[in-house]
Amino acid sequence: VPAETATTLRTAVAGVASVTNPLPGTGGTDAEAFDATVGRGAAELRTAGRAVTPADHALLALRAPGARIARAHAVPGHHPDHPGTRLPGVVGIYLVPPDENPVTPGAPVPQAGDLAAVAAHLGDRLAPTGPTVVTAAPRYVRVDARVMLVPVAHADRSAVPRRAEESLRRYLHPLNGGADGAGWPFGGSLTHTA
């Protein structure tokens, strides 16, 4: 919330006449959409707190204490230090943190502490005798596009390129992009259409 907007005292406290927040709120996330909660529910029941399949690892990575993670993708045999080589007994977990500043273009990258917290949570606590868990930031790929824009009649021609670029950024965003708005798919490819 912006500064000076939390002004309602929820519970009466003796001697307190009013409240406010002198600084803006930080670090929160929006409530999960109902459909996302329903979809996650079945996976939560299936894992029963155990990391067995790659999907279990990805789901449980989101619950690592002390880590701020919005999306996770687990790939068996992948190690970020050995791209292209399949390593038995390794699960690579690629993590995307919440987007702290969605106004500024750029890909959200997890902090080292978040990576370590997820690796410890999965490797030491949930699957101590299982595979080696390796965490990493996803490798983002730069995309260049040549776009021809044809503005509709009476459109603000100066705003059309900016709006088109914003739409592309939003569609390709790792957290809320993609066709379903749940984030651009990990490893998703772009298709040229004429």
pLDDT digits (tens, 9 = 90+) for 157-178: 888 888 888 888 888 888 888 8
Predicted TM-score of the model (pTM): 0.69
Phi, psi of 90 (to 5 degrees): -125, 140
Cα–Cα distance, 163 to 136 (Å, whole number): 32
Question: Residue 43: pLDDT band by 50, 70, 90 thresholds?
Answer: low
Average pLDDT (18-27) is 81
Which tokens go with 18?
């009013």
> Do the beta carbons of residue 91 and residue 132 sit within 8 Å?
yes
Q: Is the pLDDT of residue 104 over 70?
A: no
The mean pLDDT of the chain is 82
